[in-house]
Structure 1
């Protein structure tokens, strides 16, 4: 039987180019029942930080753990990681799995040891800007996003720091695979994700090693916080409230 707990602490972390603002609509729904849900901007994605382009995955993981420490005094927290936030969050799970009640991957998933997001990015490239929407649409589904949302995305996006994209992920603690996990599958159906994981596909192989896994299908594009914010909030709240 699945049991639940009320008002679990939730940390929302968006993917590349995005800050805490990306979760505004989800928070509107989450905070109705859960005032302990917050969104964070990772180091390197604060447009007002003059040193942001030098930030690393280690900086991002440390910042997440700082928030966990503040929110998780009485119980471990649920971390929600969208898209490219899977790199620093995988580090967090490796370093302190005992502090995480559950991880919710939103159109994302854990990375394998040694993974590098952009191994071919030249050392001289300090940052990676959001590509044109035409190019972006070839990389990820924009389903459900209207012109107003896409313009907001383009205007508020912050270039991704080069060191974050080039740093290999060092993972040594198998206990990270014991953390309760929910996959919220949007642009790729859950059944297909699991099949890719079983087949050893490099992007999904680590999913096959998760010991406690739930899969939720939320059909839409790669940015469900904008295309289906209420439904995403409900999926997150349901996952975070589970104790088994």
Structure 2
């Protein structure tokens, strides 16, 4: 595998209910090999923000672009974005708005969203936020495999309710260049072969995967939160993807 001499900046973005803290263990494993890796907390997921429940996907995409700008990312030196789970919506917006600033996107048990889609389009308009559900309910939606009681307790303690506007907003995408960005799918709770099969069949959650022009698929079998269940392996996978020259 060909690698770059100076791997680009890696920006880690966690999914619903999570902030930058969710990547702490992954960053520990990345640091010895890749000093230019940072994690961000999306608007709406900072518990100290009094306006957080009003934040939307546009705010989140703008925040990621602000980090990209602040870190000196350019078209000549683009960044690698790592998006876990529900971070796929704001990151899809970033890819649509400025694909030239992203050399590779790594979807962690996630993938690009389809134009016009919304995570929770049917949620009531008066729902201000969605708290982390009970783990019994959550386990029906996403695999908790590999998470200890200690990890689950930390998840519960640190989780921030997801803003209603983020969940209801439809993602408007118009720039086909987003599909040209080199892409790595890290498949955890669903095997990669099954994801590709669902994409070819036009499944709403995976249909956009079929439109990606440069795609690598990596299986990392575990639950939906591999940053906690397999942090060392996830860090190696991210570092390898970010270091690829093509």
Same fold (TM over 0.5): yes
Match of 2:194 in 1: 192
Alignment partner of 1:215 out of 214, 217, 224: 217
Inter-partner Cα distance in structure 1 for 2:6 and 2:16: 31
CA distance in 1, matches of 2:48, 2:131: 16
Q: Which residue of 2 aligns with 1:34?
A: 34
Q: TM-score, normalised by structure 2?
A: 0.97
State how far apart, in whole Å, the 1-side matches of 2:66 and 2:41 are.
12
**Counterparts of 2:176 and 2:128 in 1: how far apart (Å)?**
33
- SS in structure 2 at match of 1:142: coil
- Classify the secondary structure of the residue corresponding to 1:24: helix
Counterpart in the other structure of 1:70: 70
Count the aligned residue pairs: 244
**Structure 2 unaligned blocks of 5 or more:** none
The structure-2 alpha-carbon separation of the partners of 1:13 and 1:58, relative to structure 1 and needing over 3 Å to count, comes to same
Q: TM (normalized to structure 1)?
A: 0.98
Residue 14 of structure 2: aligned partner: 14
Distance in 2 (CA, whole Å) between partners of 1:139 and 1:101 is 31
The one of 202, 205, 228 equivalent to 1:203 is 205
Question: Runs ≥4 in structure 1, deviation > 3 angstroms?
Answer: none
**Contact 1:186/1:221 (8 A) holds in 2:** yes
C-alpha contact (below 8 Å) 1:53/1:127 kept by paired residues: yes
Deviation at 1:8, TM superposition (A): 1.8
Residues 113-124 of structure 1 aligned to structure 2 (within 5 Å): 113-124=115-126
> In 2, distance between residues paired with 1:6 and 1:221?
32
Shift of 1:51: 0.4
Instruction: Measure how far apart 1:31 and its partner are.
Output: 1.1
Q: CA deviation at 1:5?
A: 3.6
- RMSD over aligned CA atoms reads 0.9
